[in-house]
Amino acid sequence: MMMEFRESIVLITILLFIVVAAATVTVTATAAGRASASMPAHHEDESNLDRRSFPEGFIFGASSAAYQYEGAAKEGSKGPGIWDDFTHAHPEKIADGSNGEIAVDQYHRFKEDVHLMKEMGIDAYRFSISWPRILPNGSLSGGINKEGIDYYNNLIDELQSKGLQPFVTLFHWDTPRGLDEQYGSFLSPRIVEDFHDYVEVCFREFGDRVKHWITFNEPHVFTDKGYASGIFAPGRCSSWEIGRCKTGDSGKEPYIVGHHILLAHATAVDLYRSKFQNIQNGKIGITLDCIWMVPYSDSKSNGDAAERGLDFVFGWFMDPLTQGDYPFNMRALVGDRLPKFTEQQSKLIKGSFDFIGLNYYSASYVCSLPIDNTVNKSYNTDSYTIQTASRNGIPIGPKPGTEWIHVYPQGIQDLLLYTKTKYNNPVIYITENGLDEKSNENLSLKEALKDDVRIDYYRQHIIHVQRAISKGVDVRGYFAWSLLDNFEWGSGYSRRYGIYYVDYIDGLKRYPKSSAIWFQRFLKK
């Protein structure tokens, strides 16, 4: 699932501070080792770049998510999820008022899509299992859906028959409605037990063939957009936040949800390791997202702001996973609103991964905001930072697609090196990386398939991944977002991230874009 980014939402009073501050900022020359304001130049010969540039066994794949791809929302005895409800209750929060009831119909077309991947030459397919398709009301009390089990068995078998490895995400934002109605799902510690039961079904049914499990996709985005800004399902936030929600608390609920996600993740990993891993010989991890954050200037305050920004997005989950507790910046600034781990919980969470999935798309400059204890409390302002795409009128990178993606390939290398240094060089898979274009039905098919800008985006980011590996970062794979154009959450079908074009007017036919052909040459050269 791709990470949609928006610049930090701040209150009018705080914005006044930054306007005044910006008027007096003198930007000094960029310090050695700091990122440039424009896309870095690449002088070496890139014509020889192909999969042989990477270590033996390095995996190249493509990514997807159940709600964005499957469709068949009311077929196969599937239960309703929060995105089914959200898109119907709040079509105004989806750019084109659409939903994922049909999506790109992979539920019925998975054999065709696996064939496309086989022809392209990729090694693996990352997809998510829909929790309400396995347990229609979210818990074992409602029974296990055999039709859902059969669908994923068929998909996994089809992948294996074509030589592709399944990378399976267990939760990609599609919480069952039943659990949300019963007790607020991730707002309650009861979610930990229900998630445990759900993943045990998946481990038991599919684990003999699935060797890479991802517990959660982008918990930061799920909590931020679902419980702080309210622009994604389940649409909870304080009434004054951007989502203008009817219920929620942007200063407390995101931290409660993130806390329960970490506990659910650690419990799932403990279950897998104690009951399944030795028999099934698989690996388990979690996928986190992060834009790279560059200090707006060389001042200490802006350097500190970049560090705080990373802590509130990336460290929020990486610190507990590696050290057993939240970052100091979060504990100091959030205070009692940030839940605490018991000693037993801390031990359970620390080290609860075999690998880290990393989703990277873009970068931003970061400025420090003055601390003001009188403002309304929200996750979106708790770090006392503001992100901006430009410095002195010069963008951090080109913006060929959506508002939030500024092309900054150096950022993926910087983030990888930061992770290596700060978090003891974990095994990493780049589980999402990609670029969109606007969906324009006025283009001819030939015009719509020409996406040279996306090719350059992929090429430059893959180069920087290779450079990070050469500097000792333990990266084992790279997954492009996304295989197909699809339902892109708040953007609906108005943005296209696929390397295959989906004709939404003519029967959802798939066509390879220039980027798919480039990938095929890259992988088969």
Active site residues: 218, 432
d(Cα 349, Cα 304) in Å, to the nearest integer? Answer: 27
Query: From CA 39, how far away is CA 363, in angstroms rounded?
Result: 11
DSSP structure string for 444-504: -HHHHT--HHHHHHHHHHHHHHHHHHHTT--EEEEEES-SB----GGGTTSEE--SEEEET
Alpha-carbon distance of 67 to 70, in angstroms, equals 6
Q: CB under 8 Å to 32, separation ≥6 — which residues?
A: none
Judge whether 65 and 128 are in contact, CB under 8 Å.
yes
Question: 449-470 burial by CB neighbour count: b if 16+ within 10 A, else e?
Answer: bebebbbbbbbbbbbbbbbbbe
Closest CA to 365 of 22, 24, 41: 22
Among residues 358, 353, 315, the alpha carbon closest in space to that of 461 is found at: 358
In whole angstroms, give the CA distance from residue 256 to residue 80: 24
Enter the tokens of residue 49: 């770049």
Give the integer Cα–Cα distance in Å for 468 and 299: 27
With a CB cutoff of 8 Å and minimum separation 6, the contacts of 515 are 451, 454, 455, 458, 499
Q: Are 251 and 181 in contact (CB under 8 A)?
A: no
- 120: amino acid identity, one letter: M
**CB under 8 Å, gap of 24 or more: what pairs does 86-95 form?**
86/232, 86/233, 86/234, 86/235, 87/233, 89/235, 90/235, 93/231, 93/232, 93/235, 93/243, 93/490, 94/489, 94/490, 94/491, 94/492, 95/490, 95/491, 95/492, 95/494, 95/495
Quickly tell me which residue has 């896309």 as its tokens.
39
